[in-house]
Structure 1
């Protein structure tokens, strides 16, 4: 069965149905939700990164919301911004610039596949995906990459990571 979000398509096939995002979100358990970020760019094979969000319900809901676009803003069409410590311990990728009203970082340990929110200021931040193990840093743990880390690692190897865009994002809906 194909599922389309209301407002995304004008016409649905005979085998499809129309559901509002809010109805889909109600079915998700924020403590075990899997989100995805689909990335593409010049020199990068299009691929999906699947992330299981953490059990922190507040931050999990925020991340899920930015993946679905439910609160109005989304990671859709955002770019990866930079690679920090390329080729070294602590290597990680930043992307998906967004705004928030409350940010309370705490120490987290860099671990391959770890996903976190990191802040540049009191009101703006980005998601961070670790591609190598490393030291403790300050941020908010969001979850762990379940699969697709190779997409992020391939993006790290590009000359200009800012050419990589989140071309699709959302949640995996268990049937």
Structure 2
């Protein structure tokens, strides 16, 4: 059984339980945390992408933080920015610029389901790459692997305009320890 913690919550219903993000983060396994992103386009949520992340790099910790909203910023309401090598062996999707929702191509990102943080001159960069087809070759730091939901990204890639795809919810999956 899992509890899904929303990245950013504007309001809470009467029958909800509110948990402090800082307390939840303490319960996560830094060797293997599962994050999620709900993707929507054309006004409908199309599915959830689960990404297993190991916190062994600064970029991985930043990615988890931006999924939870703990640092104040979040991937919530950001758009996917670009598809590289559409329909080819090294196809991948770029997203994650919460400040400007703009993109810059940094090089190929390949390997099915590999999640990378993209190298940037700015230490505040939060762009990520998720490969949807092919063998792995990345110019960014590998931070994780898509556990499930890759079909959601593959459907998004088929759109004429990938920037229509929005992250409408994101967070981490918190395992419940029942005693």
TM-score tier (shorter): 0.7 to 0.9
Secondary structure in 2 aligned to 1:18? Answer: coil
Match of 1:17 in 2: 17
Whole-angstrom distance in 2 between the partners of 1:4 and 1:88: 35
Match of 1:171 in 2: 172
Q: Which has the higher strand share?
A: 1
Whole-angstrom distance in 1 between the partners of 2:18 and 2:126: 33
| Distance change (3 Å), C-alpha of 1:83 and 1:18 | same
| Distance change (3 Å), C-alpha of 1:7 and 1:84 | closer
**Count of matched residue positions in the alignment of Structure 1 and Structure 2:** 165
Match of 1:138 in 2: 139
Match of 1:66 in 2: 66
Runs of 4+ residues deviating >2 angstroms: 1-12, 57-60, 119-125, 134-137
TM norm structure 2:
0.81
TM norm structure 1:
0.83
Match of 1:40 in 2: 40
CA displacement at 1:9 relative to structure 2: 2.8
| Partners of 1:30 and 1:60 within 8 A in 2 | no
Match of 1:97 in 2: 97
Gaps of 5+ in 1: 100-107
CA displacement at 1:167 relative to structure 2: 0.2
Match of 1:111 in 2: 111
After superposition, the C-alpha distances for 1:65-118 in whole angstroms (9 at most, x for unaligned) are 01000001110000001100101121000011157xxxxxxxx97310000011
